[in-house]
Structure 1
Amino acid sequence: MKAELRANTSSISLQNPSLFNTGQSSIPGALRGCLGSLDGACIEKLLLHCASALESNDVTLAQQVMWVLNNVASPVGDPNQRLTSSFLRALISRASKVCPTTLSNFNGSSTNHRRLMSVTELAGYVDLIPWHRFGFCASNSAILKAIQGYSKVHILDFSITHCMQWPTLIDALAKRPEGSPSLRITVPYSRPPVPPLLNVSTEEVGLRLGNFAKFRDVPFEFKVIDDSSSAGDIVMSKLESSSSFHFESLLSHLSTPSILNLREDEALVINCQNWLRYLYDDEGRGINAQDASLRDAFLHLIKGLNPCIMIVVDEDSDLSASSLTSRIATCFNYLWIPFDALETFLPKESRQRLDYEADVGHKIENIISFEGFQRIERSESGSKLSQRMKNAGFFSLPFCEETVKEVRSLLDEHASGWGMKREEEMLALTWKGHNSVFATAWVPNGLED
């Protein structure tokens, strides 16, 4: 089903059948067929059985299934085993909330460690696979086209990658035949508590960008919207709370022009890179009662700012389902991609690979182990996002041939399995033909001409 990841893994030996006071004889017949050699399809079947058991509070059956999974999971094995290891940790985390005293014998029951990177480490993280660079490249090319003829540009940047996108754009602006425009970048202080995490403040990032822009002779300003209840660096104690986004406060600030300091002679650019999915999307969570969700409220406010372009880049997977089994099926058939891609060029015990996979594991744990406001990974597919944008009053801008060429050139720097599709209203990054990340460009209706 999914290229090499659907190939059989090595045979497993079911060690220590008394580990969880269960044995092969007590495992339901539907699961006994999965004992022996586990391939990706069988692992998925086991995960879904476990999810169903957890949803029905059948802890005994969940333990039995996790016992089987525990014997194939390995954080340093093949891609199937590494992916299973991440799912097992997430399932144990969820099960421990239901019955915390019965799961002490399982390996990997602790949550994933969230590490802080240096700027240099972050650059290596972004360059490892084109998961982020694809969006940077497509976005920057579209932005450059949209701001042609402007001498002043203001970017409102909503991203999880700490402005890593902008050195390349600054360099391109410095080479503009008509001369570089002045550039302002405004970022929110609040950030989803997800990897990658940086060990310097947003203000320090702005200073470094300013130094680079000065070196390239690009007039530059950087501003942080302090939408939090308290100023200061992001610290680990704050990251433990999924309610630390302060998005409602940010949306309030976006509706206050004086805070954004918008100027009529500037080209306004809205950049959303792997960010929109962290806006809660349940009804009744908007600023006003009539707003269906924070996500729709955000788009409504952005439309009112009349940007010359809005870029939305995100993961092309629908993980918004309330059903645990649905989320596990979607997640398993999507997040095999980074595990499989890293296998092609990094050794099994590579520290860089283990760290990257741990960050993917953090995402898997949030998708599986948490519900309500604590479950913040709620991505939607590119097609659903496109419909949302149209409903909000935006018109799609097609990516030009120059952008397509630049993205293809970028992908040539990575493994041969990476590719690109041109689909209706979006570009899609693919791994072995399967969509992973989409990039879209939009303008408010009436500005498309």
Structure 2
Amino acid sequence: MKAEMRGNTSVSLQNPTLFETHQSPLSGALNGCLGSLDGACLEKLLLHCASALESNDVTLAQQVMWVLNNVASSVGDPNQRLTSWFLRALISRASMVYPSSMNFNGSSTIQRRLMSVTELAGYVDLIPWHRFGFCASNSAILKAIEGFPRVHIIDFSITHCMQWPTLIDELAKRPQPPSLRISVPSSRPPVPPLLNVSTEEVGLRLGNFAKFKDVPFEFHVFDSSSPKEQQHLNPSLLNLRDDEALVINCQHWLRYLSDDQKGRNNFLNTIKSLSPQIIVVVDEDSDLSASSLTSRITTCFNYLWIPFDSLETFLPKDSRQRMEYESDIGHKIENIIGFEGVQRIERMESGIKLSQRCKSAGFLSIPFCEETVKEVKGLLDEHASGWGMKREEDILVLTWKGHNSVFATAWFPNGLDD
């Protein structure tokens, strides 16, 4: 949205044209919020706008949007910055439903940026959002494949194989490193981070690194026209070999599969039929599958506050790197808030809910060992002090100031020989 976001609330919130009487719904929404920019007030305004859109009250929705436009700021504090992206998403949603009624200038379409491999490495290292899952998963994988001369990893991840150099480095330290084969799907969800080189080029770079480390290596891209069709995987498509230990790695991936019976459950059943040595699942620990727009706003606002707040601790407000990272989160917000049906691909579920799904599919949990916990804690020591980790049953959870952000789990099919 090209309309200017301003942080000064004193004039706009008291503009008498926006709420003419004390009985107006907008006035009620703002009760106790005048001059305030705290998260509770901003969330209240967003919910009021969403409620107006759901009840087809275009006039009220417009009024709340104009107020939000004056209190949100893309260069303000974390709550203001987060709100600016929610406002964009609500305007986008409203403009699709009421194209002639929304008078805001500009388009809400977020520009997608392509990263170099170096920029992607910086993106992953910025906060432990992805590194937490890499560390926990790699540690569990290394333990599960110990003693196997050949290993095949089927990698479902949105981070373009950034997880594997560390694993290759650890394998190289073994007296006799196993041969490693990594297979990735030919398609991925159209979400950040986006890379400016092909998957095949990524495989070549991994191969060069493995060669440097004297780890025998193969890289394979298997045909997969869309993430939703990956429940149709079979041994022939994946070129499975009887002499390999099979590893299934799912990093921030399952949420892009349909959450009905024909999606995630079928995918898990298919994975189970492949008899993997281990399956690791890492994803964001929030339930954003609700059909109600207001419910999704409440959960999403309080959850995605985490990366906005954590970036505040070490990057200046006008940092380009910070703005680009927040823009990628804005991509997520736009999809969660702006779209419905098949267009809404961000359908997260909590770690507890995912665990129940895996158990129902016939998987048994693999507890993370103390060595893994120690490695993850060492990783978090490299980041801001607000990051922490806790256990919830056999789940490891990354936290920010005590709030759950990302979970990691490990599983094996019930009935697989030890």
Task: Specify the TM-score bucket, using the shorter chain as the normaliser.
Answer: over 0.9
**Partner residue, 1:190:** 187
Report the Cα distance in structure 2 between the residues aligned to 1:10 and 1:414, rounded to whole angstroms.
29
SS in 2 for 1:272: strand
Report the Cα distance in structure 1 between the residues aligned to 2:10 and 2:57, rounded to whole angstroms.
25
Contact 1:51 1:324 in 2 (8 A): yes
**Aligned partner letter, 1:276:** L
**Partner residue, 1:398:** 367
2:351 pairs with one of 382, 401, 404: 382
Contact 1:10 1:37 in 2 (8 A): no
**Aligned partner letter, 1:205:** V
1:261 pairs with one of 214, 239, 252: 239
Counterpart check, 1:133 vs 2:131: yes
**Partner residue, 1:158:** 156
**Partner residue, 2:215:** 218
Report the Cα distance in structure 1 between the residues aligned to 2:17 and 2:394, rounded to whole angstroms.
52
1:104 to partner: Cα distance: 2.7
Report the Cα distance in structure 2 between the residues aligned to 1:346 and 1:54, rounded to whole angstroms.
35
Aligned pairs for 1:32-431 (under 5 A) are 32-33=30-31, 34-105=33-104, 109-176=107-174, 178-228=175-225, 245=226, 247-248=228-229, 250-252=230-232, 254-255=233-234, 257-282=235-260, 292-431=261-400
SS in 2 for 1:47: helix
Contact 1:13 1:71 in 2 (8 A): no
1:251 to partner: Cα distance: 2.9
Q: Which runs of 5+ in 2 are unaligned?
A: 1-5
Report the Cα distance in structure 1 between the residues aligned to 2:20 and 2:159, rounded to whole angstroms.
49
SS in 2 for 1:71: helix
**Aligned partner letter, 1:114:** R
TM-score by length of 1: 0.88
Deviations 1:379-401 (A, max 9, x none): 00000000000010000000000
Report the Cα distance in structure 2 between the residues aligned to 1:397 and 1:16, rounded to whole angstroms.
53
1:92 to partner: Cα distance: 0.4
> How has the CA–CA distance of structure 1 residues 341 and 246 changed in structure 2, closer, same or farther, with 3 Å as cutoff?
closer
SS in 2 for 1:77: coil
Report the Cα distance in structure 2 between the residues aligned to 1:448 and 1:420, rounded to whole angstroms.
31
Contact 1:311 1:439 in 2 (8 A): yes
**Aligned partner letter, 2:317:** K
Report the Cα distance in structure 2 between the residues aligned to 1:109 and 1:79, rounded to whole angstroms.
23
Report the Cα distance in structure 2 between the residues aligned to 1:116 and 1:309, rounded to whole angstroms.
33
Deviations 1:408-430 (A, max 9, x none): 00000000000000111200000
**Aligned partner letter, 2:147:** G
Aligned length: 409
SS in 1 for 2:242: coil
TM-score by length of 2: 0.95
Deviations 1:189-222 (A, max 9, x none): 1100000000100000000000000000000000
Report the Cα distance in structure 2 between the residues aligned to 1:263 and 1:376, rounded to whole angstroms.
33
> How has the CA–CA distance of structure 1 residues 165 and 311 changed in structure 2, closer, same or farther, with 3 Å as cutoff?
same
Report the Cα distance in structure 2 between the residues aligned to 1:247 and 1:403, rounded to whole angstroms.
32
> How has the CA–CA distance of structure 1 residues 258 and 13 changed in structure 2, closer, same or farther, with 3 Å as cutoff?
same
1:31 pairs with one of 29, 32, 57: 29
Identical residues among aligned pairs (%): 77
SS in 2 for 1:158: strand
1:246 to partner: Cα distance: 5.3
> How has the CA–CA distance of structure 1 residues 140 and 123 changed in structure 2, closer, same or farther, with 3 Å as cutoff?
same
1:103 to partner: Cα distance: 2.0
Contact 1:154 1:266 in 2 (8 A): yes
Name whichever of 33-42 and 163-172 sits farther off. Answer: 33-42
SS in 2 for 1:341: helix
Report the Cα distance in structure 2 between the residues aligned to 1:227 and 1:446, rounded to whole angstroms.
29
Contact 1:22 1:64 in 2 (8 A): no
**Aligned partner letter, 2:406:** V
Report the Cα distance in structure 2 between the residues aligned to 1:11 and 1:197, rounded to whole angstroms.
35
Contact 1:411 1:418 in 2 (8 A): yes
Q: Which runs of 5+ in 1 are unaligned?
A: 1-8, 229-244, 283-291
1:359 to partner: Cα distance: 0.4
> How has the CA–CA distance of structure 1 residues 113 and 60 changed in structure 2, closer, same or farther, with 3 Å as cutoff?
same
1:59 to partner: Cα distance: 1.1
Deviations 1:423-448 (A, max 9, x none): 11200000001110000000001237
Deviations 1:44-68 (A, max 9, x none): 1111111111111111111111111
> How has the CA–CA distance of structure 1 residues 142 and 260 changed in structure 2, closer, same or farther, with 3 Å as cutoff?
same
Contact 1:11 1:37 in 2 (8 A): no
SS in 2 for 1:310: strand
Deviations 1:306-342 (A, max 9, x none): 1000000000000000110110000001000000000
Report the Cα distance in structure 2 between the residues aligned to 1:14 and 1:138, rounded to whole angstroms.
50
Contact 1:87 1:364 in 2 (8 A): yes
Report the Cα distance in structure 1 between the residues aligned to 2:391 and 2:380, rounded to whole angstroms.
14
1:12 to partner: Cα distance: 1.4
Report the Cα distance in structure 1 between the residues aligned to 2:127 and 2:30, rounded to whole angstroms.
38
Report the Cα distance in structure 1 between the residues aligned to 2:352 and 2:28, rounded to whole angstroms.
36
Contact 2:296 2:337 in 1 (8 A): yes
> How has the CA–CA distance of structure 1 residues 40 and 212 changed in structure 2, closer, same or farther, with 3 Å as cutoff?
same
SS in 1 for 2:20: helix
Deviations 1:71-100 (A, max 9, x none): 111111111110110110001001111211
1:22 to partner: Cα distance: 4.8
> How has the CA–CA distance of structure 1 residues 246 and 406 changed in structure 2, closer, same or farther, with 3 Å as cutoff?
closer
